[in-house]
Amino acid sequence: MERRRFWGLILIIGLWVAACGSKPTAAPSPQPSRPQSGLAQVGSVEVLKLASPSVEVRVVAHGQLADGCTRLDEAKMERVAATFSVTLPTTRVAQAECPPGPIDFERSISLDLTGAGPGNYTLVFARP
């Protein structure tokens, strides 16, 4: 009877040690996430007519990006009749640790005046 208790106790201790000594499974590594796309928030715009042999107009957009991880992509411009539409796309790495708060930006964009004659034109920026 003593022997049974002894081996029973050894079995219980062995199971307890095996359970406590097992290695934890590694947490799965996070999958890289896709960058988030958006639009820059433009606060003000300057239109500059440059002195050159041909007519050249530049637009300087001032605004804020959401945080330090948000980057401006290449500006996109389209002209339909007398309206110039400008889009300032942004990209942000998803789940990145970034300095909080808005970041000021300034972007200069040259307007394509090919085929545009004298007159009044409208400038529109895409909004987020």
Q: Total domain count for the chain?
A: 1
Could you tell me the residue range of the domain that residue 82 belongs to?
36-125
First to last CA, the chain: 81
Q: Does the reported pTM lie above 0.75?
A: no
Does 15 map to a domain? no
Which tens digits make up the pLDDT trace of 68-127?
Answer: 999 999 999 999 999 999 999 999 987 778 888 899 999 999 998 888 888 899 999 998
**Domain-embedded: residue 89:** yes
Within a domain: 31: no
Task: Return the structure tokens found at 52.
Answer: 């050159």
Q: Encoding tokens for residue 12? A: 């219980």
Q: What pLDDT shows up at residue 85?
A: 95
Rounded Cα distance between 45 and 127, Å, is 13
Residue 18 lies in a domain: no
Residue 25 exposure: Cα atoms within 13 Å on the Cβ side: 3
- Mind listing the pLDDT tens digit for each residue in 13-72? 554 445 555 455 555 555 567 888 999 999 999 999 887 777 789 999 999 998 899 999
